[in-house]
Amino acid sequence: MSVQERKARERAVRERLIVATARELAEQQGWDAVTTRRLAERIEYSQPVLYSHFRGKREIIGAVALEGAAEMAVAVRAATSAANSPRERVAALARTYLDFAARNPAVYDALFQLDGGLAYAQEDTPEPLKDAFAALLESLGEVAGDGVHPGLFTEVFWASLHGLATLTRAGRLPPEDAAQRVELLVDRLAVL
């Protein structure tokens, strides 16, 4: 292994450590607790080393969002691939999405609430974000209905899931009705 290869590998390891530490700190204490000073202390590197990887907190949020998008896509595909019918796939997608949002609140915020400097729904949208949307589209496109653009239907269904996730996290919806909300969403919005 050349010196350049070793340095590149070490740099990648440091970058993964920064992102993992930011994510852990955000999940434990919220994004307000994530500062470059605290991250530098936790990973035991100087702030200039941290800034050599990320220009600031915004880019770190973006890196966490991209990691989260990839994880969400994997989770959605795993859940929907085990389903036997379009209805089961859509219900599995909805439950998986809402579960991901509940289990990973800081990642969910990085993806959909905070400014991570990422372009959404544009030509230069990063691949992990495109793939997360594609994971939704794969199951939702087949239940959009005649004359309804599959991408548009996916956006509306996704917006509904986002609303449920956000309102549930904020304590605005009673948690005991979560399963009924999913069933209602699947039965009323999807053409099955």
pLDDT digits (tens, 9 = 90+) for 42-72: 999 999 999 999 999 999 999 999 999 999 9
Residue 179 pLDDT greater than 80, yes or no:
yes
Averaged confidence pLDDT in the chain: 95
- DSSP 8-state class, residue 85: S
- Residue type for 155, please? E
Confidence at residue 79, expressed as pLDDT on a 0 to 100 scale? 98
Phi, psi of 126, rounded to the nearest 5 degrees? -60, 145
Global pTM exceeds 0.85: yes
Average pLDDT over residues 76-99: 97
Closest CA to 126 of 102, 144, 110: 110
CA dist., res. 43 & res. 16, Å (int): 11
pLDDT (0 to 100) of residue 3 = 86
**CA neighbor of 137 nearest in space, from 149, 150, 123:** 150
pLDDT at 191 exceeding the cut of 90:
no
- Exposure of 64 in the CB half-sphere (CA atoms within 13 A): 32
Summarised one tens digit per residue, pLDDT across range 138-160 is 999 999 999 999 999 999 999 99
188 has a pLDDT exceeding 80? yes
Element (H, E) at 155: helix 150-169
